[in-house]
Amino acid sequence: MSIEIKLPDIGNDEVEVTEILVKVGDKVAVDDNIMTVEGDKASMEIPAPQAGIVKSIIVKVGDKVKTGVDIMVFDEEGGAAAPAPQSASQPTAPKVEVTPTTSSVSQTVDVNVPDIGDDEVEVTEISVKVGDTVAIDDNIITVEGDKASMEIPAPVAGVVKNIIIKVGDKVKTGSKIMEFETTTAAAPTANSAATTPAPASTPT
Residues 83 and 149 in one domain: no
Residues 82 and 163 in one domain: no
Question: How would residue 186 be classed by pLDDT, with cut points 50, 70 and 90?
Answer: low
Domain end residue (candidates: 69, 97, 125): 97
Whether the model pTM is above 0.85: no
Residue 203 lies in a domain: no
* Mean pLDDT computed over every residue of the chain: 82
Residue 175 lies in a domain: yes
pLDDT at 53: 93
Residues 9 and 84 in one domain: yes
Contacts for 74-78: CB closer than 8 Å, 24+ residues apart: 74/2, 74/3, 74/5, 74/28, 74/48, 74/50, 75/1, 75/2, 75/3, 76/1, 76/2, 76/3, 76/52, 77/27, 77/51, 77/52, 77/53
pLDDT at 188: 54
Residue 143, pLDDT above cutoff 90: yes
**SS3 category, 15:** strand
pLDDT at 201: 54
pLDDT at 95: 64
Residues 141 and 156 in one domain: yes
Domain that includes residue 155, residue range: 104-185
Sign of CA dihedral 189, 40, 96, 24: negative
Question: How would residue 32 be classed by pLDDT, with cut points 50, 70 and 90?
Answer: very high
pLDDT at 194: 45
CA distance 148 to 138: 20
Sheet containing 176-185: order of strands:
104-112, 176-185, 158-163, 133-134
Q: How many CA atoms lie within 13 A of 164 on its CB side?
A: 13
pLDDT at 192: 43
50: domain CATH number is 2.40.50.100
The count of other CB atoms within 10 Å of the CB of residue 107 is 10
Residues 119 and 143 in one domain: yes
Residue 19 lies in a domain: yes
CA 180 to chain centre: 26
Domain end residue (candidates: 53, 73, 97): 97
Residues 8 and 93 in one domain: yes
Residues 88 and 127 in one domain: no
Residues 92 and 125 in one domain: no
Residue 109, pLDDT above cutoff 70: yes
